Structure 1
């Protein structure tokens, strides 16, 4: 497994501190984020999943705790929209350049407006996908938000 992804290259170039955490990815896991947290022995609420969605038909990215579900209503409101829905897998992969199960908010092929769930602010470090299946990175939430120009908002139901 390569430990270099478009996201890790950009974070390194920007001088953002992060650490990599490889784990054994299980393609049959019902919830990849929870499986990653378990494999690494870290709290699922500190492990964040990256989801690609659409608000009023426009692509967006949300980063939420792995043990929570996104509220479509709250997500739409966070992007000042009316309605939200999850993006189809082929569209998400084409837009980001990453495979589902390995989508990172960092280094996506096309820059997309991003919001991070406010629960990230409860931690000094959060774990987010680094850009490939079986590889998380740990980063300070404020560093992630600053790098992504992403506000924090309540996104979960």
Structure 2
């Protein structure tokens, strides 16, 4: 496994301080984000998952706690739309350049509007996928939001 990914390069280029944390990725895990939290020994609300969706038909990215479920109406409202739906995994992979289970909001092939769960902004440090299955980056959520130009809003049920 490489610690150098498009995500880590984007973070370094953006001047964001981060540390890299690898874990044994289980492709059979029912919920990958929760598996990452367990493997890292972290509370699930501090390990954020990256989800690709569409708001009014346009691609967007939602960053939410691994134990949370996105409320589609809240996601749409946060990004100025009326409705939202999850993106098909194959479309998410094509759009981001990452494999499902390793999708990071950093260094995606195409820049899309992003929203991050507001509650995560109260944490000192969070984990977000580092652009590879089994790789997380630990960083200040405010710095992540700044680099991503993400809207902080309540996104979960």
Q: Tell me which interval the TM-score lies in, with the shorter structure as reference length.
A: over 0.9
Could you list the per-position Cα deviations for residues 16-66 of structure 1 after superposition, in whole angstroms to 9, with x for gaps in the alignment? 100001000000000000000001101111000000000000000000000
Gaps of 5+ in 1: none
Which residue is 2:62 aligned to?
Answer: 62
> Shift of residue 14 of structure 1?
2.1
Q: Does 1:10 align with 2:13?
A: no
- For these two proteins, the number of residue pairs brought into alignment is 157
C-alpha separation in 1, matches of 2:144 and 2:115? 10
RMSD: 0.6
Relative to the length of structure 1, the TM-score reads 0.98
Q: Does 1:26 align with 2:26?
A: yes
Relative to the length of structure 2, the TM-score reads 0.98
Deviates more, 1:7-16 or 1:122-131: 7-16
> Shift of residue 123 of structure 1?
0.6
C-alpha separation in 1, matches of 2:6 and 2:45? 25
4+ residue segments displaced more than 3 Å:
none
C-alpha separation in 2, matches of 1:97 and 1:103? 8
Say if 2:79 and 2:151, in contact at 8 Å, map to a contact too.
Answer: no
